[in-house]
Amino acid sequence: MARGCQAWGMEIPAPPSTDPAGFRSGFVALVGRPNVGKSTLVNQLVGQKVAITSPVAQTTRHRLRAVLTTAEAQLVLLDTPGIHKPHHLLGQRLVQSARSAIGDVDVVLLLVDGSQPAGRGDAFIVQLLRQVRVPVRIALNKQDRIAAGQAEELLASYQALIDGGEGEPALDWPLHPICALDGAGSPALLDSLIAALPPGPALYPADTVCDQPEQLLLAELIREQVLHQTREEVPHAVAVRVERIVEDGPRTAVLATVVVERASQKAILIGKGGAMLREIGREARLQMQKVFDGPVYLELFVKVIPHWRRQPARLAELGYDGA
């Protein structure tokens, strides 16, 4: 089966040589409030050529965002859903689960909007991270938005958070001013993250950039709804292909094609005035929102491909290549 984004027809850069001696690898939890620039930074780090998805990890504690392989290290970037939502973390149990989620990574990257002074949300996350014995790096993003003369004051507001209050030990977490949009500061940030990783071999093939299974999982969620809501010959004639997954701020947009074999099946699937397709889309979207832990916009197209089940090339395209 195609790996990473290859199935999307995108070019994958040649894998760098990974010298096992001195190579480092590990997990980086990417933490930060919505809109601080997490997706932008991931795109910047991994390379503009690839689209980044938020694949579903095996556990609900983390979600795989991207895998970044350099000549010296491999970083597996993970999302920790929920930690950016302090109001959801009021319960002691939830705090506990966020702590254990960030406790099993090698380094935490806290991304903040450095063009704004540190706020209560940032203070909350820092307090939570204080309780976990994991190295932390803080990236102060959006440096390009800072007016001349303001930089020092803004930096000081974040420095105050890690210096701590009375009776709290000061933390030695490095602060990295960056601009995720143009990449300024990101090489130094990357070096700092790599330095926190343990020695070890690559965990994923070097050309992995985003996770294939997510597309398949989302396609299955749609197919499941088709099976629930249609009868007769339709279920067997249906295949679903997820064309694109686009992160748009806190929202995730998913574009998918539902393939059937005949125009009559297409008519059943669409239903009267589009009612059937709307219902399928609505139910699938609700499931996807659980996966992404946030709002999802789902667009479904229906396409007729006569006898797709008998065409090997079509089967492979739809993810049934048997490999």
Residues contacting 255, CB < 8 A, separation 6+? 242, 243, 244, 245, 246, 299, 301
Tell me whether residue 18 or residue 116 sits nearer to ligand GDP (CB atom): 116
Query: What's the angle, vertex CA 161, arms to CA 156 and CA 167, rounded to 5?
Result: 125
Residues 138-157 that bind ligand GDP (CB under 6 A): 141-142, 144-145
Q: Are 194 and 70 in contact (CB under 8 A)?
A: yes
Q: To the nearest 10°, the Cα dihedral for 57, 63, 68, 73?
A: -80
The amino acid at 124: F
Tell me whether residue 84 or residue 137 sits nearer to Mg ion (CB atom): 84
Q: Is 65 in the site for ligand GDP (CB under 6 A)?
A: no
From the list 8-16, 37-45, 265-273, 291-299, the region that binds ligand GDP by CB under 6 A is 37-45
Half-sphere exposure at residue 23, Cβ-oriented, CA atoms within 13 angstroms: 18
- The binding track of 228-247 with respect to Mg ion, each residue x by CB under 5 A or -, is -------------------x
Tell me whether residue 35 or residue 131 sits nearer to ligand GDP (CB atom): 35
Tell me whether residue 34 or residue 205 sits nearer to ligand GDP (CB atom): 34
120-130 vs 151-163: helix axis angle to the nearest 10?
40
> Closest separation between CB of residue 278 and Mg ion, Å?
27
Residues 239-268 that bind ligand GDP (CB under 6 A): 249-250
Residue among 180, 226, 256, 259 that touches ligand GDP (CB under 6 A): 180
Instruction: Provide the 8-state DSSP code for 120.
Output: H
Q: Is 39 in the site for Mg ion (CB under 5 A)?
A: yes
